[in-house]
Amino acid sequence: MGLGVTYLEEEERLAPSLHLHYKEHFKNYLGFGIGLEHVLGDHGHSIASLILSYEAYEHVSLNYMPGLDIEEKEIVHHFELSFGFESNGLHLGPFLGVSLGNESHFSAGVHFAF
Does the pTM exceed 0.85?
yes
Instruction: Quote the pLDDT of residue 48.
Output: 98
Range of the domain at 35: 2-113
Q: pLDDT tens digit string along 11-58?
A: 899 999 999 999 998 888 999 999 999 999 877 789 999 999 999 888
Contacts of 33 (CB under 8 A, 6+ apart): 21, 22, 23, 24, 50, 51, 53
5 — pLDDT class (breaks 50, 70, 90): very high
Q: Are strands 85-87 and 90-100 parallel, antiparallel or unpaired?
A: antiparallel
Instruction: Quote the pLDDT of residue 33.
Output: 97
Instruction: Quote the pLDDT of residue 11.
Output: 87
Q: pLDDT tens digit string along 60-102?
A: 999 999 999 998 899 999 999 999 988 888 889 999 999 999 8
- Number of folded domains in the chain? 1
Is residue 108 pLDDT above 80, yes or no? yes
Instruction: Quote the pLDDT of residue 100.
Output: 95
Instruction: Quote the pLDDT of residue 86.
Output: 86
If you ran DSSP here, which 8-state letter would residue 82 be given? E
